């Protein structure tokens, strides 16, 4: 089993799990009960994990990218309210190295971090909806 996405709430986890199941990809949620009954343990256990079998991991990752792009396009920017965000690889030194390593080892084992990006105002967030901290940091710098 390999984790393809993690969540901090059960509601969102089920929506994403059902997207995979509806597309013929068997996906399961791990640590859902622990996370739901003891939310304060979420950080310690790494949240609710959406997992798939090793054999379909690569296929599931490609599907995940597709879902993320669709999800971003249906979202509204929390800062400028423009509809439709982009889902892009994060531009940083770490990611540049990640891309090189991925190219060298030709594998999906090194994952690139993606962000939701607003083409209108430039706001970026690792998650949707974004955390309050991400909006505050962006507002302070712009
Ligand atoms: Zn915006």
CA of 79 from ligand 1 middle (Å) equals: 5
Structural contact between residues 73 and 85, judged by C-beta atoms closer than 8 angstroms: yes
Q: What is the 76 CA–ligand 1 centroid distance (Å)? A: 8
Sorted by where each begins, the domain ranges of the chain are: 1-70, 75-142
Please state, in angstroms and rounded to a whole number, the distance separating the CA atoms of residues 80 and 122.
10
Nearest to 124 by CA among 92, 93, 88, 70: 88
What span, in angstroms and rounded, lies between the C-alpha atoms of 121 and 142?
A: 9
> What pTM does this model have?
0.71
Compute, in angstroms, the gap from residue 65 CA to the centroid of ligand 1: 21
Contact 24, 64 (CB under 8 A): no
**Hey, is 127 helix, strand or coil?**
coil
| Over residues 99-124, mean pLDDT | 73
Query: Three-class SS of residue 94?
Result: helix
Q: What average pLDDT does this structure show over 26-48? A: 86
Q: 120 CA distance to ligand 1 centroid (A)?
A: 5
Judged by DSSP in three states, 114 sits in strand
Q: Tens of pLDDT along 63-102? A: 999 999 999 999 999 999 999 999 988 776 556 666 666 6
pLDDT for res 43: 76
Residue with tokens 């993606």: 114
């Amino acid at each position: 089993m390999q984790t393809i996405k993690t969540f901090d709430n059960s509601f969102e986890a089920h929506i994403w799990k059902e997207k995979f199941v509806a597309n013929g990809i068997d996906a399961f949620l791990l640590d859902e009960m622990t996370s739901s009954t003891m939310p304060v343990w979420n950080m310690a256990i790494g949240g609710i994990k959406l997992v798939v079998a090793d054999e379909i991991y690569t296929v599931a990752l490609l599907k995940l990218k597709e879902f993320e792009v669709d999800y971003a396009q249906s979202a509204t920017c929390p800062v400028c309210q423009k509809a439709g965000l982009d889902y892009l690889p994060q531009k940083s030194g770490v990611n540049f190295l990640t891309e090189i390593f991925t190219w060298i080892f030709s594998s999906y084992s090194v994952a690139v971090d993606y962000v939701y990006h607003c083409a209108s105002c430039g706001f970026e967030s690792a998650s949707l909806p974004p955390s309050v901290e991400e909006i505050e940091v962006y507002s302070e710098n712009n």
